[in-house]
Amino acid sequence: MLKYALLGFLNYRPMSGYDLKQFMDQSTANFWHAKLSQIYITLKALEEDGLVTSSPVAQESRPDRRVYTITAQGQTDLTKWINTPEFEIAPSKEPFLLKLFFSAQLSKESLLAQLRIQRDLHQKQIDQYQTETADLIKQTTERAPHLLKDALLWNATRRSGEIIEEAIVRWLDETIEMINKEFSA
Partner DNA sequence: TGATACATGTAAGGGGTTACATGATTTC
Partner DNA sequence: GAAATCATGTAACCCCTTACATGTATCA
Q: Please, which of residues 30-89 interact with DNA by CB under 7 A? A: 33-38, 40-45, 59, 61-67
Least Å from the CB of residue 28 to DNA? 12
Residue 99 φ/ψ region, left for φ over 0, alpha for ψ in the -120 to 50 degree band, beta for the rest? alpha
Question: Judged by CB under 8 A, how many residues of this single chain contact a second copy?
Answer: 71
Phi and psi, residue 16, nearest 5°: -90, 170
Q: Strands of 65-70's sheet, edge to edge?
A: 15-16, 65-70, 52-57
Count of alpha carbons within 13 Å of 54, Cβ hemisphere only?
A: 18
Cβ closest to DNA, residue 16 vs residue 71: 16
Number of residues that make up the chain: 185
Residues 41-70 that bind a second copy (CB under 8 A): none
Q: Does 14 bind a second copy (CB under 8 A)?
A: no
Does position 141 interact with a second copy (CB under 8 A)? The reply is no
Asked if residue 163 binds DNA (CB under 7 A), the reply is no
Measure the CA–CA gap between 166 and 174, rounded to whole angstroms. Answer: 12
Among 42, 122, 129, 137, binds a second copy (CB under 8 A): 122
Tell me: does residue 123 bind a second copy (CB under 8 A). no
- Within residues 162-181, the interface with a second copy by CB under 8 A covers 163-164, 166-168, 170-171, 174-175, 178-179
Assess 80 for contact with a second copy (CB under 8 A).
no
Burial of 115 (0-12, 13-18, 19+ CB in 10 A): buried
Counting contacts by CB under 8 A, is residue 72 touching a second copy? no
CB 27 within 8 A of CB 132: no
Give me the 84-113 binding string for DNA, x by CB under 7 A, dash otherwise. Answer: ---------x--------------------
Please tell me whether residue 52 adopts helix, strand or coil conformation. Answer: strand
Smallest CA-to-CA distance from 181 within 110, 108, 115 is with: 108
Q: Using CB under 7 A as the criterion, which residues of the chain lie in contact with DNA when the complex forms?
A: 1-3, 16-19, 22, 33-38, 40-45, 59, 61-67, 93
